[in-house]
Structure 1
Amino acid sequence: MSHLEFTSATFLPFLPEDCQVNPGAYGFELAWWLAQVLARSGVVTSYPVGEDWGWLIEYREGDAEFMIGCGSQSDPGEGYRGQPVAWSVFVRQVRSLKQRLQGRSEPAIALRLTAAILTALRTEGIEVVVDESA
């Protein structure tokens, strides 16, 4: 799994803090934007789903399922100051017990998704750091 990390004011929340999944856990706007950009390039995902840590969109190809997580590394209220915040995006395959026992994974799909996300962010002029150790 790779983490893409960047700092930007592009995806700041527009709804108040009490509408976020948790205080300082932003990412809906980033997940929504990614879902739209990926769909335009033929990669159709789900709508964003909230989690305690941020938001995710799901992607399926055949029997392979992937989670694309989008979250901020922010203090509560930080997203409303109009200043850039730190963001993190990751792609992780969600495997069933059977798939894990059989050693089935699809790293090529994960790499393709990560590359598409990286291209989309860079097209927006966002400088991204790729953390392969995650």
Structure 2
Amino acid sequence: MHSPILMFQSTRFEIVQGEDQLTNPGIFGRHLAEWMAKELPRQGYQALGDVIPEDFAWCVPVAAEDCELYVACANAEEGWQIYVFADCGLMARLAGRDPRSGAVAGLYAAVRAILEEAPGITGLHTE
């Protein structure tokens, strides 16, 4: 389960040559993910450890009670993209205790607020 994708432009996040060796070729976003991890506490969220390279993005693991919660950060055709996703155990979902939608919605609102308030972020919209 994941949130809508937040798309935007910014020149504040540099691409480090070779960072896509830890993701798929052409997938960047490490500095964006590191910046987001530092900004989350202003909205009441805490990043857990270092950002994680995945095939599709650089992910920020976020403290959550009932599920694994992440902010995925990557380059896009004309800028940057961020979305929030969550995973929880199959047994919790089968037992009717699926906390993902509430967890994703809350973190998504926090991430959007961070982007709306940050200098140097333009063209913020969802896809």
TM-score when normalising by structure 1? 0.77
Pairwise mapping of residues 1-134 of structure 1 onto structure 2 (< 5 A)? 1-13=3-15, 15-16=16-17, 18-20=18-20, 21-46=23-48, 47-74=50-77, 85-103=78-96, 104-125=98-119, 126=121, 127-131=123-127
CA-to-partner distance for each residue in 1:62-110, whole Å, 9 max, x for gaps? 1222121111125xxxxxxxxxx42111111112111232241232221
Instruction: Report the more deviating stretch, 29-38 or 111-120.
Output: 111-120
Which ranges of structure 1 fall in alignment gaps of 5 or more residues?
75-84
- Does the 8 Å CA contact 2:4/2:126 hold for their aligned counterparts? yes
Q: CA separation in 1, counterparts of 2:68 and 2:115?
A: 22
Give the number of aligned pairs.
119
TM-score (norm 2): 0.81
Structure 1 runs, 4 residues or longer, greater than 6 Å off? none
Distance in 1 between residues matched to 2:28 and 2:46, nearest whole Å: 22
Question: Aligned-pair RMSD on alpha carbons?
Answer: 1.8
Amino acid at match of 1:89: I
